[in-house]
A and B are shown apart, each in its own frame.
Chain A
Amino acid sequence: MRKLFRYLKPFTAAIIAVFVLTFLQAISQLYLPNLMSQIVDIGIVNGDTAYILATGLRMLLVAAIGAACTISAGYLTARTGAGYGRTLRELVFERVEEFSLYEFDKIGTASLITRTTNDITQMQQVVMMLLRMTLRAPMMFVGGIIMAVSKDARLSLLLIGALPTIAFTLWLISVKGMPMFRAMQTKLDKLNLILRENLTGIRVIRAFNRNQYEHDRFNDANYDLTSTAVRVNRLMAIMNPIINLTFNFMTLAIIWYGGIRIDGGNLQVGDLMAFVQYAMQILSSLMMITMIFVMLPRAAVSAARINEVLDTVPAVVDPLVGEEPTQRGYLEFRNVTFSYPGAEQPAVQNISFQAGPGETTAIIGGTGSGKSTLLNLIMRFYDVDSGSILVGGVDVREMKQADLRAKIGFVPQQAVLFTGTVADNIRYGKEDATDAEVEAAADIAQAAEFITGMPAGFDSLIAQGGTNVSGGQKQRLSIARALVRRPEIYLFDDSFSALDFRTDARLRAALKNETRDATVIIVAQRVSTVMDADRIIVLQDGRIVGMGRHRELLATCSVYRDIVASQLSEEELA
């Protein structure tokens, strides 16, 4: 956590100011009982009304200064906390945007999201809390002790008596309470999980008549959660009474021993009254410090998670000077081998092939045969272990990533759309595309028809995650997005799977025209998609087991024959 505090540096002045203001506020707070005791010991004892009034005015002034300090400190704290959160968020987001897929695989997308959002919000809160409480509590504590001791040192020893209670509270929360809170969270998650399953599987549950079973399952979890919640709340129910009792018994003890001290002429009554208030301040600041100690470890978890992101250095880096490719659209794999980090087997091995403009290369093979990996390597989402990939005659590692990817139009397996209009989403491929270009791309991608059918046409809004368009429509939009770039190389990663056959066929006919001058790489599952390719690469377990045209492969490659046989009926093979 300390590491993350270095980002507080720009706020040093504000923090020092908060420190000073809090100090002043604590002094004013501590000074008030002192003034009050003067009213008693000087004003009342001497019957001096004017003194009482004057002291009263001073008290008001002190209180006003205290309030002004608190508000100013609050202002600076809010700015510092929020500013710190902003800085941290920005740093993390910028770092994550630099990440290659290595780092995404390693940490996980969902985890990266929580780290950028929830974890940072946690840290921001901790900073605010530290500025508010952590400064104030020790100051009040030390100040209270100084004031108490100055009033009567021997009486101050009584305060030690409260320590066991403080220790008990700390123990109760951290040893007993925390595990129960965690258990409760787990049970709550379990309940939510069952509920979510019930919602997603509602048709299956009803079709199989398992309503009662699911209801029982939910209720078991419900009961389990309830009994833990009852136990947690009952355990915590002891906290308040115990704390109150400590405070109250402390007061009684002070009055008793204070009485003895007064009797001996060592203490004045007004001082005793002030002493009681100091004692209360000391105890509450002790309690506050206890709470901080309980909370810090939880914030430390967030801090560690954020640090991990900031400390992760992207594995894929640009060369200092990018080389300019010479051969437009030309793509070559030279004996490429690649393994995912930690994997025993290489994902792809000894891959060599060449593709040029106007050619369509199809890659086919089972799940896990390494098809998508090849595309990831072309875009340099990962670096090869050995061998090299050349685009335009230059090794991809010799180019700037941005320059490399500017040549590529990529259509991912899962169509990802972003919030914004349909036109925005297509224009994502080329920021300065004209309306005509956008419409042309949509037309080729067979998307124009459904877009014009939408209420606002190209200005219709796509919801987050593209939930308001169907899977097939999403795919067509993501194809249009790639088309509008007019790239040298097209990469289609099983991009036609959600299309029905009719749309699929029309789309491919239209694409054929459009991609005449480009190098096209298609990863596919359907044989009908790859049949007409200039070159079909058959992958199995990361190796090329066949390469050639449909008819050649039917004759020579048994793996390809199996795939074809599983998909096409005999008459179509003929």
Chain B
Amino acid sequence: MSQPTARQARPRAQQPPQRAGSRGVRVGGGFGPRGIGRPVEKPKDFRGTLRRLLEYLRPHLVALGAVSLMAILSNIFSIVSPKIIGKAITHLFERIMARQAGVVDAAIDFAYLRNILFTLAGLYVISAVFGYIQQIIMAGVAQKTVYNLRRDVSAKLARLPLKFFDSKTHGEILSRVTNDVDNISSTLQQSITQVISSIVTLAGVTIMMLSISWKLTLFVLLTLPMYVLVTRFITKRSQKHFAAQQRSLGELNGHVEEMYGGHKVVKAFGREQAAVAEFKAINSELYDAAWRAQFISGIMMPLMNMLNNIGYVMVSVMGGIYVTRQVIALGDVQAFISYARQFTHPIISTANIANILQSTVASAERVFELLDEPEELPDPVPAAVIEAPRGDVVLEDVHFSYSPDTPLIQDMNIAVRSGQTIAIVGPTGAGKTTLVNLLLRFYEINSGRITIDGIDIRDMSRGDLRNLFGMVLQDTWLFNGTIRDNIAYGRPAASEEEIVQAAQAAHADHFIRTLPDGYDTVLNEEASNISQGQKQLLTIARAVLSDPSILILDEATSNVDTLTEIYIQRAMSELMRGRTSFVIAHRLSTIKNADLILVMDQGRVVEQGTHDQLLAMNGFYAELYNSQFTSNGVA
């Protein structure tokens, strides 16, 4: 029986490819309990992580107690009922046998029967109600726990240093907040109550069976080790194939993404046939692994049923013989058969609980790992505040490196006075963002100090420090919201008039007004409903509105048409007026007019000085300048 639950609403798009297979294929969801024979990740520290996960459940201790009680009661009632049904059957059988034996008044006692049935009806209703209440409570507990987990992760992300984000892929982090938390959620929602009812059922059924006949019970219990053996045998084999299936599926998805993504190139180079040939090869591998995995995991149920049937037959036969010898009543055999039938399901679920628990704890471990990442240094208390910022920036003996073995910045000394422009130049990949990282204190310097208006930036709160800065980077980050909200991002309290003024200063007002909804236009997820250049204008407007004392600009404009480029250029020069500006420079005029040029190569500042000074040095800058701005050798 398949039950639709919250688990079917899984995010599909966000799954990393190797997972998409195992999760994505659960269309029906209903071929036996979750996770038969699927590969399970093993947590490193099972106990510690489990204890910590339970910590999250502590606030719900009362509710969980109630759930357990309800589960126990609900199961007890359903466990007792077959025995009572047995009484009714026994009664019917005895009367019939009596009648055949010639007892004339051997009529069925319908009042007795009615009593039994009403008792049963009552038990069923109570059991159902308890079952229902238990599910309802659990829904609240599970979801609230997951809510708290997600909230904690989000709060944690806000406190983590940039080093963390730069060293992990977005997919890795996303997967912890979505897949792993989701996994924990479904375990809480389903497996906890499943564990309780399985244990209660197994225990209860065994007790009930024993109470009917210990001999018959023995026959049923004899099949128990075989269940364990079969489960082990199949799980071991199917895991191998499921792993192979996931691998092939990941490979196939990768190939499809690549070939479709690069369709133009594939066609231009006439490589369609090669693409199809490779696809076929991977597809065949996938086919092999897929049918094997499906088949072997599919054997589980029939084999379990077979075992169950063996028990069933043994009980029928032995029970039948016992009844003829009048050792037990027929109704008891009937009850016993019902019990024996109930035996399989909890065994399979208990066998799986170990797996489920392991994968859940592995998920929890990954989430906790994230929660345990070292955080940024706390802000100083009390923090120094710059009342009227001027924008004097001084770097004294600054040393910095991302990793200890490769020192990047050594002994850097720069003094920038308010309103000056510093051009940062160098070939691509020279690490020009390093300076941004240090100035905004995204990364901590190793030694030396950086001061603004004479105050060490480490004595300020990060919030106050960053409020001094405005950034316009090439990588325009806008979010899925209205244009107005995006401009006002740096100053949420800004009035409509201020927003429009900022847009005008950034030469963005005109294009915004040509959009169907003007300032209320909602940028879509990839912000693909406006052009790259327009995005850059919006980020400039955003910086204008936040009115910073110090600017960080990236002049690079790619995929921007000429007219927009002119606008961007103008808007940037206006923005720079009167502010200390660090410019990742691409324009000769900017470089020449800069008060200081920092020449970077491979992450280091290799030279610094004014244009004339640097040319006179006839070093790296001179070579760079000559190759860039003296136009010879156009193909």
Contacts and interface: CB of A to CB of B under 8 A. Distances in A.
| B partners with A | yes
Contact of B324 (A44, A90, A97, A502): A44
B559 interface: yes
B48 interface: no
Contact of B142 (A86, A223, A233, A509): A233
A464 B254 contact: yes
A543 interface: no
A85 B287 contact: yes
Contacts of A509: 632-633, 635
Most chain B beta-carbon neighbours within 10 Å: one of A177, A273, A563 = A273
B402 interface: no
A470 B135 contact: no
A204 B554 CA distance: 14
B603 interface: no
Interface stretch (B157-165, B210-218, B403-411, B503-511): B157-165
Contacts of B515: none
B140 to A, nearest CB: 6
A167 interface: no
Given A40-B320, A49-B324, 6 more contacts: A56-B314, A125-B25, A188-B11, A222-B150, A256-B117, A502-B427
A218 B154 contact: yes
Contacts of B294: 74, 77-78, 81-82, 128
Interface in A500-530: 500-503, 505-509, 511-512, 515, 520, 522, 525, 528-530
A132 B31 contact: yes
A93 B276 contact: yes
Contacts of B564: 367
Interface stretch (A154-162, A408-416, A432-440): A408-416
Interface stretch (A142-150, A238-246, A325-333, A345-353): A238-246
Contacts of B124: 244-245, 248-249, 252
Interface stretch (B448-456, B573-581, B620-628): B620-628
B629 A113 contact: no
Nearest to A173: B4
B174 A233 contact: no
Q: Chain A interface residue count: which class?
A: 35 or more
Nearest to B5: A236
A408 B143 contact: no
A504 to B, nearest CB: 8
Contact of A406 (B127, B157, B270): B270
Contacts of B321: 49, 52-53
List the 10 closest A-B pairs by CB distance, nearest first: A501-B628, A532-B634, A237-B135, A366-B561, A56-B317, A233-B139, A63-B309, A367-B561, A509-B633, A241-B128
Contacts of B12: 118
A241 B427 contact: no
Residue with the greatest number of chain B CB neighbours at <10 A, chosen from A83, A191, A201, A367 = A367
Contacts of A204: 471, 473, 477, 489
Contacts of A90: 279-280, 283
Q: Is the interface of B mostly helix, strand, loop or mixed?
A: helix
Contact of A416 (B262, B301, B588): B262
Interface stretch (B90-98, B199-207, B350-358): B90-98
A295 B89 contact: no
A233 B132 CA distance: 11
Contacts of A191: 150, 178
Interface string B559-574: 1111111100100000
A203 B162 contact: yes
Q: Which of A198, A408, A562 has the most CB of B within 10 A?
A: A198
B83 to A, nearest CB: 13
Interface stretch (B359-367, B412-420, B459-467): B459-467
B257 A464 contact: yes
Interface in A100-134: 100-101, 104, 109, 112-113, 116-118, 121-122, 124-126, 128-129, 132-133
B129 A241 contact: yes
23 contacts: A45-B97, A52-B320, A55-B317, A56-B320, A59-B316, A90-B279, A101-B263, A121-B25, A198-B157, A199-B170, A200-B170, A201-B479, A226-B143, A229-B143, A240-B135, A241-B128, A259-B92, A295-B27, A405-B269, A465-B261, A481-B269, A509-B633, A562-B563
Given A52-B321, A237-B139, A97 B480 contact: no
A368 B267 CA distance: 23
Interface stretch (B38-46, B106-114, B382-390, B391-399): B106-114
Nearest to B304: A67
Interface in B121-169: 121, 124-125, 127-129, 131-132, 135-136, 138-140, 142-144, 146-147, 150-151, 154-155, 157-158, 162, 165
Given A133-B28, A256-B117, A209 B466 contact: yes
B3 interface: yes
A356 interface: no
Most buried by A among B142, B146, B428: B428
Nearest to A238: B132
A214 interface: yes
Contact of B302 (A71, A81, A133, A199): A71
Residue among A77, A241, A366, A567 with the most chain B CB within 10 A? A241
Given A226-B147, A248-B124, A269-B92, A288 B1 contact: yes
A215 B635 CA distance: 52
B3 A239 contact: yes
Nearest to A125: B27
